[in-house]
Structure 1
């Protein structure tokens, strides 16, 4: 398959645009992006002119004579050059000029701007200087720069005259008419990841000037350099268009998905649900063509479940009011016999309800369904082995992960767990960082609880599976967010958490809902796995296509096809 023929495959593969950009740069620096022209002046002539110009500047005292660079060894040449090209070290082509380091008191609020590495990337904060410096310490529009510490990369400076800071090199060609700066920029852009990988340091990776000067550069004939730069610009614009189209398509898909699924979740009756579902079913292949759309469908299923629209109500079911009477009796017993203090208001006004009247359903606040075992604010002493410790990091959205594995000492367990012991079938809830994760306890061995986790010790364990689904739903999650507080880490206090109302179906209907949700979530998981596998396969073929293109000849003849495909 040729590159142009496989463009649509590349265009729709995961991370496709970034991979296309890498391919374009790789082909450019290997001489495979545009055809060679035998009429071009070869690179050997350019290098001779550059050497003569550098020698003249040394004789005139404009630059210092540097230590001779080592000969380029065969093992330093990463690929075979096209005819007319030559290898050269970076310092053979340009002077690598250091920026100036500044003391804090030298950075002012006015004067000549001081260009720092951060300004080349994301920082909008500028400092200034009133120092009079040598000419080479200034950067002018069109100068080629290279950031070499922490953040790496080449830049053609397009701003006003500035002083460039330490951690930036200015690459000043020995002969302006013998080297296209944009061609060298293209090479450095392709080379940057390798440059960064060969750097030094742990806290802040940096490149040494000596190593930078010795980098081996493929030098094309000057006319071909210009053709390469023009072709790279053209293809990068196509990538920009493809990227914009991809973002737009993703945004449009997300809006379509959200609109249809929101309509589905907002259904107020089984009849309305059937109508809204027919609209979704008509676009099923379009909607569910990516894993994130399946995630949205799964959340919609939960919303329907907690609104009484996922399974049929049965008049023969014992109403939830009877179940809640038994739960209230158990709560009263625990208050009287064990001094339990978790309780909440009994009434739930209309403005707090998230679903209308459903036959047999009744609202109840969390604080009346369970005793809260709260270990927030306490950090136990951890050891290498012992009794497992479950923290907020282990409680995920719907399940408990045993990673990371942490422990407390056996001797500390009983003394630590003075507020109560969680049971299989109880629920664990994270109060912050993150807020709102919920999981049904399925751990049979003893374990300790740590900070940012509350155990809902249920007054009736049979409601646990449904209550977990209800708490995972968008309707209840929104109420957690509304009741939360905090600046750096949003969290919910136990006093507010216990007052959150939940719509409780009859116990028999709860079981039908849980079974139906489990069935649909298994289907969602299978669909998600298929989509992920398809994307992986697509990415594999895209990688193979890119690898094939990198080994073949110039692709300039396919540019028109690429433009049409894009």
Structure 2
């Protein structure tokens, strides 16, 4: 146990780690590996038999879920608890005051907080009649939720006076005075939860019936050891709760600082944006303790990129006015050659539409103006059989990557293939589903491929740097425009027309390249930091398991004394 206490703080990094550590402690507790055994302590069943408390011989479980210490016994919960439910109370008998009437939701609150602001009551006379006729929960009985979050357990206290809803809540009448807190910690262990929430075939169930509760396999320690286990768990859980509070406070402080810092970086009106970003990059190892923090840093970087504040402007760069003339000339040539349709004229951008002031040499432009084509994909059924043409779908794009080996095939004629075949530099945008609005840049095509109809393709003018505009499509500037067009639904409005109307900043061509290079340099550092965060998290888990496994295998703990 000294080993566990010595390394307690090293075994947790997040609030989730604390909860997982608690479960590990419960697992050790119900396996007889948390406190020493005393060889002089009699089996609990034997003690009950000697005291002639058992009404009949208890049948021990023959198929043991796991090995127990020599003076522990596997029993069914129904062998040591009288498990039942209540007499039905009609809704007409509910009152606004009187004796509390608990449903599953109240038991959950009682288990967590030790108290509950109750809404339902029954009259005192009704309660006394139920008590005299059917009985009511008594001190050290256990109330267990049978619906909702099933298996949550509350130990009845001395002054408690209440009744409960039938089927919604079960009562484990503690007829043999088993330590109720030990039973509660068992009920909250993963071993018990798995028994409660899964049937014999492994199917998830939504209710805990009396029959299933009675059949729960329960590891029964000697009575004195039950007390020692409960005391030790309470001791360790108190330390866990302190760590949880400490981690929560540190996280709140860190979140507050990071949110403030990254908000300032993204604020176009902040005159210290560049200095704030330089500070964040210099101290990114300390600031970014989670992957969410790294994402905030990435978003801050992209905000400065599309505001023209990430790299210096060069007055020698070819102005965007020339770039726009070249784009217009290229589109006119493609129209004449019949490769694209004559584009519809888009509305000029008004001053009110401009999100912020751009650097000299930049211009606000609509995405449709700098795109040769924005259109939907090909409708076809996916096939496993190799037809010679792959069909790229939304579901094939995961975390900005495609595993081309798993992309299915489709049947397609030459005309549709010509219209929808993927080309290098294409940008695909999801127009529906859970990834709506997310984009993917086509690079290194390995197979003849087309894209499915739930994707929209943006084909930029060939003179532009496609990676700059891919980063624009990941920035808050892009996402804020999508959300503003959601028309109150909360779901971004993504279609070919809405995409063509998006407002995007257009820097000089050479500056686009400098911005992309700068982003990629810092994103490489972000990737490395994310990798280190994951390694650290995995190390904490492995270290925790190593310490607990060492505790499990520590023979000294289990030596009889």
Give the TM-score band, short-chain normalised: 0.7 to 0.9
Q: 1:389 aligns with which of 388, 391, 415?
A: 391
Q: Partners of 1:186 and 1:529 in 2: how far apart? A: 37
How do 1:7-406 and structure 2 match up within 5 A?
A: 7-12=8-13, 15-34=16-35, 43-44=44-45, 46-48=47-49, 52=53, 54=55, 70-73=59-62, 78-81=67-70, 86-97=73-84, 111=94, 143-146=141-144, 152-156=150-154, 160-165=162-167, 169-175=170-176, 178-190=177-189, 191-195=191-195, 196=197, 199-200=200-201, 202=203, 204=205, 213=214, 215-266=216-267, 272-273=272-273, 275-277=275-277, 279-280=279-280, 283-334=283-334, 338=338, 340=341, 342-343=343-344, 345=346, 347-375=348-376, 380-385=380-385, 386=387, 387-395=389-397, 398-400=400-402, 402=404, 405-406=407-408
Q: How many residues align?
A: 529
Give the CA deviation at 1:473: 1.3
Do the aligned partners of residues 111 and 201 (structure 1) sit closer, same or farther apart at CA in structure 2, a change above 3 Å counting? farther
Match in the other structure for 1:459 = 461
Do the aligned partners of residues 522 and 172 (structure 1) sit closer, same or farther apart at CA in structure 2, a change above 3 Å counting? same
Give the CA deviation at 1:6: 0.6
Give the CA deviation at 1:179: 1.8
Q: 1:407 aligns with which of 364, 385, 409?
A: 409
Match in the other structure for 1:527 = 529
Q: Deviations over 1:473-514 (max 9, x none)?
A: 122221121122463844334333222111111111111211
Which TM-score applies when normalising by structure 1? 0.78
Q: Contact conserved, 2:22 with 2:240, CA < 8 A, in 1?
A: yes
Give the CA deviation at 1:119: 7.1
Q: Contact conserved, 1:429 with 1:453, CA < 8 A, in 2?
A: yes
Do the aligned partners of residues 19 and 552 (structure 1) sit closer, same or farther apart at CA in structure 2, a change above 3 Å counting? farther
Structure 2 unaligned runs (5+)? 110-116
SS of aligned partner of 1:243? helix
Q: Partners of 1:319 and 1:399 in 2: how far apart? A: 34
Do the aligned partners of residues 395 and 141 (structure 1) sit closer, same or farther apart at CA in structure 2, a change above 3 Å counting? farther
Q: Contact conserved, 2:302 with 2:519, CA < 8 A, in 1?
A: yes
SS of aligned partner of 2:469? helix
Give the CA deviation at 1:18: 1.9
SS of aligned partner of 1:389? strand
Match in the other structure for 1:65 = none
Q: In angstroms, what is the RMSD of aligned CA positions?
A: 4.2
Give the CA deviation at 1:541: 1.1
Give the CA deviation at 1:470: 1.4
Q: Is the aligned partner of 1:550 residue 2:552?
A: yes
Q: Contact conserved, 1:156 with 1:185, CA < 8 A, in 2?
A: yes
SS of aligned partner of 2:21? helix
Give the CA deviation at 1:319: 1.0
Give the CA deviation at 1:426: 1.8
Which TM-score applies when normalising by structure 2? 0.79
Give the CA deviation at 1:43: 2.8
